[in-house]
């Protein structure tokens, strides 16, 4: 399996570039009999769509998805589900000025050095626009997990720049364009984004994702641990520089007597472990947190080199999100959904005959 | 590929339980012609060996490794390298008291619920003793990477409990039993560990690993990114709850103008990205940081349930590390070595004819 | 990796159904810098295209391919190559009569029983039309193998029904619509096909494929043997029931003194092994032979059951090839090309530093 | 996954050389709760053990297996099952004479050219002795398949040299040292083998394997077809040059009206397809046939070259089977068992909720 596929049984393959004709994806291994339509994918794609507020890229993409295979009379057949999303608003000329320079913090340089050539239009394959495929694939996983096991996967923006957003409730998350769980801070975020945009700069963010009602038992220790696969999936999202499960880095300063979640006949008393112990889901909420770096493409001039290795400066004038974290929530949810579905299938393959002995 | 193997081309398979007769590993895909002996593996194993100070488990294991295949006249033949490490000091009776209870923070409960039965002796497969296989496999990767590309992989304890350990130099790391990079704080650590042991409690830790001289170009976007595979490898280590690359979670509060590493004809000016951009190595030092939770097996009494779901309390009296982070440095180094070697091979498979166009 | 992908490093993923909107494929892992265009794929697709003579299905498909990603300025970029082939002449009503019955020898029954539902239009996913994806992917592999190593992959129809076709030369193969290597027998084949069509019956065939100039050393024993992967690739082609390498089944009656290919300083004296020893290419011509069963969809009435398990009879009136072997040559070539390319990459990953010691 | 592992969910990894200290294997992905002991593996190993008659190699190996992990109180725990078989009768001096020459038909040459060096003792990794691992792994698969689904896997010698052995009954197979299904021909075989041995020559063989009571629905089209994976597994066995499913090569001369197996409410009327349609098991007996080439190591002098490329002759005097087919039956059974088990798990992963609609 090469680099553009992931998943052992629920396997997602992705192709496409920012300024090519289309992005496409293949979801293989989906169980048959799931009711599915373009609309199921579209509604998730619309959640990450650009242009929904003045705080994200103004590129106009309807992100209209077309499912090309794997369905019959509205149900999955168990064969590969191929789908396509055409690019509509690719303005390659925007990029001519930077084709010969490397944007600091961007993959321009590494792609060129790895492959010997690169598609410089809009970041080519490295564009965050690739995440449409993840969101579409995740929509399938999410639907199946919900119908089959009742699993609920939701995320929110937990921090943007230095603004921390405490969790006020899932209701708040849908009230603003930032997936902020504290809608009372929306104005503050908007002002911060406006100031960033004026300054021609960008900022980082933290996104939290939670999966509830995940059954106990998913994950394949010792290398195919559920948390290991989640870590890979999250770190594979553009701009992600850190992943935590449960207490995460806070566990460093915890004592064992504080961190280890006690149990009673009604279940776990706390959830420092974030729903995974020994690489296997505990049945608690699965809690993941990721750090996204600030957007690399900024208007402020920066020192760099050109493809001949000569010193120069660069100012990126294209249409970019000043904070990639704003639209990252549906992406992180989608990646978590894909990993969970893969492990749901892997678990019932090996342990399909097991009845968990302890009833909580 | 099931859960006890990892790596696409440099593939590591592991088996064994804490109180079974032996641990064993298979390294498949190693290039032929590498000079290799038991001693190469042994010297890394000795770095993580238990019993080296009073601050780690007093279990007596020589961790003597025997290579069983894949060598001919002292060189790798390109065939699978199998090796074995016998368990010597397994005292299963230590565990009889806890066989029917679940240690908070441990995998006891999830293993039982997933598989319907569990090997309760010393954590069975969930024991951190499994990491001997990672260290042995990593020794092979490390040697090849060093000889073939000059890659240098080193790690250190960056924090233990609330004691932060600034990096004073690699020389310090070898001067104490904690892999502390600031040997002047060794006494402080020892006192802290003594107090923990007396209290019957445990603590968490942070370990940093750095790989230097990694060539530009390793990593397979968009899902097989170098950092994604590193994240999985690190998160698969027992007790790890968080992974960062480069600036990691600090990137949240950085501006784009601060985070994006500028370039000059002599290379990158900074390394916020930790040696990876777009999932591909930049040629800079690869910088990874992990959070390890406190040891779950502690002497302090804790609330839990038994395998019939009844409330009870538990005190763990076996021989355990009060901080698993103390011996985690060689393990994290080994995992990084395995991932890098896998990607070195994957890169030359696809891009073996590419000459990186930019000379820095 | 699920069932609709194959290859470890040169990885092909396929989706699409006979009467859906399109077939699509993704080729991942292709080295960068290969000059490639739609035309390179099209010319191979045209070799398997239906409707080229009265002896194959009269379904009218231009099989026009569109590459959607992975190219920049006419060269592969090293990223995933996605491509699409729209279905143009899908007449689903042709199949309404058989939607509720199982054609003997067809996958109707097994698809329904496995997945619980099936796309009955034209065989759905089981249609031999899926082989367009193999041919398109194979065109990429073939081009790279030729340019990089000089590998030449060619095949021919060696037998159709009971008509055996001796190899007269590659020139003959291109002179007729059957890929027959003895063009003097073309009339005989045509008469046989006419009689079959009149009778409403079908026949089997044998196709041979040869790859020349394959370097010594490709293949990964003991399970990833070159011949094992070839066997899987060939057996995965619709209607294939047998695979031989070299002497194949004739080896049963050979003596060791006859079968084992002697060597002289100018190379091997014979090629009973078909270019593979111990799962590794020898540097000789790689010789593969496959058996294709007769087409299942025939006009003659046959006993079968319907989806309620009731006895009935069936006559298949759609547009079908009376011998799937007629168009199988480009398909078998393509599969061989894909496997060889995958192993070319795998070999240089592991053994990129090896210089074969013996010069022949 | 590198070349010494196979299987997606039921994954077998193998290591060891003919004259190294031991062979070892790891079976990963086995469901928990299966009663298993060394004895289960041993009884299958004893069926392929050398030295059981004068017609096979006289090397004395007890092939004593030791399971090292994955069991607890006599049951599989769901973790990796590691096992070891020590070599006891390795006489490396037997091979010194041939270390610098290439045996015609053997992998000596290809291993050296691929890897740049080779373990010349007894064929090293290319020795057929590696098949102990397959047989041991197959014993686990076979046991689970039998207990869980009632699957019965049996094989026999169908031809040796030019002696064809008609199937008289499973009872005959156990009455002789050749797995011949027609015990009345045992004397004829023995005389043939004696004459071969006297002549210093060897011969080929055909082995048939049949799996009964395989449920309908196993296999993952279009590339992960059950028959494709079986073909790979069989072709990966040392000396195999051909694989057939069902009618196999005989299908070439069949008409569609003859080949396509008709159905009635009581099931299929015939089994030309060998239990697989469209890559999915039909519920009928799964019928596989393989061709094994004659042993390469023979006493008759043959032309070859040495490792400097110089012409020479070679006579192989070690202890070798004059027909590798004699002991191949348990090996082929084991490979079939492993593939079936892998697909049993894969099927219930994806289609675990499907109830096959047609009751036969």
CB of C224 within 8 Å of a chain B CB? The answer is: no
CB contact under 8 Å between D112 and C202, yes or no, is: no
> Residue B7: phi, psi to the nearest 5?
105, 140
> Residue B61: phi, psi to the nearest 5?
-130, 125
Q: Give the pairing of strands D205-212 and D286-292.
A: antiparallel
Distance between CA atoms of D136 and D16, rounded to whole angstroms?
A: 14
Q: How many CB atoms lie within 10 A of CB B310?
A: 12
- How many CA atoms lie within 13 Å of C235's alpha carbon, on the beta-carbon side? 38
Length of chain B: 360
The C-alpha of B73 sits at a distance from chain A's nearest C-alpha, in angstroms, of 32
What residues of D are in contact with residue B342 (Cβ under 8 Å)? none
pLDDT at D42: 97
Neighbours of chain D (3+ CB pairs under 8 A): A, B, C
E-strand spans in chain D? Answer: 5-6, 11-16, 22-28, 65-67, 71-72, 75-76, 81-86, 152-160, 163-164, 205-212, 240-245, 263-264, 267-268, 276-277, 280-281, 286-292, 302-305, 311-314
Q: Which residues of chain A have pLDDT under 70?
A: 51, 58, 90-97, 318-319
Q: Which residues of chain D have pLDDT under 70?
A: 51, 90-97, 318-319
Structure token digits, residue C354? 């090896």
Comparing CB atoms, the residue among D9, D14, D84 nearest residue B80 is: D14
Nearest of A56, A52, A47, A18 to residue A323 by alpha carbon: A56
Chain A, chain B: beta-carbon pairs less than 8 Å apart: 419
Comparing CB atoms, the residue among A113, A293, A305 nearest residue B216 is: A113
CB of D356 within 8 Å of a chain A CB? The answer is: no
CB-based burial, A114-151: b 16+ in 10 Å, e otherwise: bbbbbbbbbbbbbbbbbbbbbbbbbbbbbbbbeeeeeb
Do the beta carbons of residue D41 and residue D83 sit within 8 Å? yes
Work out the end-to-end distance of chain A between its first and last CA atoms, rounded to an integer number of angstroms. 39
Do the beta carbons of residue B256 and residue A298 sit within 8 Å? yes
Nearest of A281, A255, A280, A282 to residue A267 by alpha carbon: A282
Closest chain D residue to A344, measured at CA: D349
Distance between CA atoms of B84 and B75, rounded to whole angstroms?
A: 18
pLDDT at A92: 59
The C-alpha of A68 sits at a distance from chain C's nearest C-alpha, in angstroms, of 6
The C-alpha of A271 sits at a distance from chain D's nearest C-alpha, in angstroms, of 26
What residues of B are in contact with residue D30 (Cβ under 8 Å)? none
Residue C1 has pLDDT above 80, yes or no: no
Distance between CA atoms of B305 and B323, rounded to whole angstroms?
A: 25
Closest chain D residue to A343, measured at CA: D349
* CA torsion, ordered C292, C293, C298, C300, to nearest 10 deg: 140
Distance between CA atoms of C29 and C77, rounded to whole angstroms?
A: 10
Distance between CA atoms of A28 and C2, rounded to whole angstroms?
A: 6
Do the beta carbons of residue A161 and residue A358 sit within 8 Å? no
pLDDT at A99: 80
- How many CA atoms lie within 13 Å of B106's alpha carbon, on the beta-carbon side? 30
Interface test with A, best of D76, D349, D355, D357 (most A CBs within 10 A): D349
Closest chain C residue to A87, measured at CA: C68
CA distances from D291 to A286, C274, D203 (A): 52, 14, 11
A152: left (phi over 0), alpha (psi -120 to 50) or beta: beta
Residue C68 has pLDDT above 90, yes or no: yes
Interface test with C, best of A1, A9, A129, A346 (most C CBs within 10 A): A1
Helix (H, G, I), strand (E, B) or coil at A142: helix
Closest chain A residue to D352, measured at CA: A348
Look up the ipTM and state it.
0.97
> Residue A351: phi, psi to the nearest 5?
-115, 25
Neighbours of chain C (3+ CB pairs under 8 A): A, B, D
Interface test with D, best of B10, B13, B120, B121 (most D CBs within 10 A): B13
CB contact under 8 Å between A357 and B113, yes or no, is: yes
CA distances from A350 to B208, D342, D350 (A): 36, 10, 12
B49: left (phi over 0), alpha (psi -120 to 50) or beta: beta
Q: What is the pLDDT of residues A83-119, one digit of tens each?
A: 999 998 766 566 666 788 999 999 999 999 999 999 9
pLDDT at C360: 79
CB contact under 8 Å between C13 and A26, yes or no, is: yes
Q: Which residues contact D131 (CB under 8 A, 6 or more apart)?
A: D48, D237, D238, D331, D334
CB of C219 within 8 Å of a chain D CB? The answer is: yes
Comparing CB atoms, the residue among B10, B13, B82 nearest residue D5 is: B13
C-proximal residues of A, 281-300, CB under 8 Å: none
Distance between CA atoms of C344 and A226, rounded to whole angstroms?
A: 33
Distance between CA atoms of D62 and C190, rounded to whole angstroms?
A: 61
- Between vectors from CA B98 to CA B97 and to CA B103, what angle results, nearest 5°? 155
Structure token digits, residue B331? 């393990």
Q: Where are the alpha helices (DSSP H) in chain D?
A: 38-48, 108-115, 131-149, 170-173, 186-199, 226-235, 256-259, 328-351
Do the beta carbons of residue C124 and residue C112 sit within 8 Å? no
Comparing CB atoms, the residue among B8, B221, B348 nearest residue C352 is: B348
pLDDT at C95: 65
DSSP letter assigned to residue D122: G
Beta bridge partners of A207: A157, A290
pLDDT at B51: 67
CB of D200 within 8 Å of a chain B CB? The answer is: no
pLDDT at D60: 79
Q: What is the pLDDT of residues C153-185, one digit of tens each?
A: 999 999 999 999 999 999 999 999 999 999 999
Beta bridge partners of B263: B268
Mean pLDDT, rounded, for C343-358: 97
What residues of A are in contact with residue D35 (Cβ under 8 Å)? none
pLDDT at C94: 60
Residue C97 has pLDDT above 80, yes or no: no
């Amino acid at each position: 399996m090469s680099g553009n596929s992931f998943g052992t049984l629920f396997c997602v393959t992705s192709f496409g570039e920012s300024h090519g004709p289309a992005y496409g994806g293949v979801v293989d291994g989906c169980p048959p009999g799931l009711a599915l339509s373009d609309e199921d994918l579209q509604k998730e794609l619309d959640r990450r769509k650009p242009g929904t507020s003045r705080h994200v890229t103004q590129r106009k993409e309807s992100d209209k998805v077309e499912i090309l295979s794997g369905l019959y009379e509205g149900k999955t057949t168990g064969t590969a589900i191929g789908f396509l999303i055409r690019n509509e608003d690719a303005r390659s000329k925007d990029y001519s000025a930077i084709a010969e320079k490397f944007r600091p913090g961007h993959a321009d340089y590494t792609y060129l050095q790895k492959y010997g050539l690169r598609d410089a239009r809009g970041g080519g394959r490295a564009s965050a626009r690739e995440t449409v495929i993840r969101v579409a694939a995740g929509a399938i996983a999410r639907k199946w997990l919900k119908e089959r096991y009742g699993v609920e996967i939701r995320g929110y923006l937990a921090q943007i720049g230095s603004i921390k957003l405490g969790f006020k409730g899932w209701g708040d998350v849908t009230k603003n364009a930032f997936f902020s769980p504290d809608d009372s801070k929306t104005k503050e975020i908007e002002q911060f984004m406006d100031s960033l945009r004026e300054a021609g700069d960008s900022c980082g963010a933290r996104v939290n994702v939670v999966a509830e009602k995940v059954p106990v038992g998913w994950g394949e220790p010792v290398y195919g641990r559920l948390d290991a696969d989640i870590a890979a999936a999250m770190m594979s999202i553009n701009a992600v520089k850190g992943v935590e499960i449960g207490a995460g880095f806070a566990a460093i300063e915890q004592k064992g007597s504080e961190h280890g979640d006690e149990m009673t006949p009604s279940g776990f008393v706390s959830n420092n472990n974030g729903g995974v112990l020994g690489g296997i889901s505990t049945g608690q909420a699965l809690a993941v947190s990721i750090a996204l770096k600030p957007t690399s493409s900024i208007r402020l001039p920066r020192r760099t080199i050109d493809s001949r290795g000569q010193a120069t400066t660069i100012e990126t004038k294209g249409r970019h999100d000043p904070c990639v974290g704003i639209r990252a929530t549906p992406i992180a949810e989608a990646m978590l959904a894909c990993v969970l579905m893969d492990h749901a299938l892997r678990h019932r393959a090996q342990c399909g005959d097991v009845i968990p002995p302890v009833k909580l």
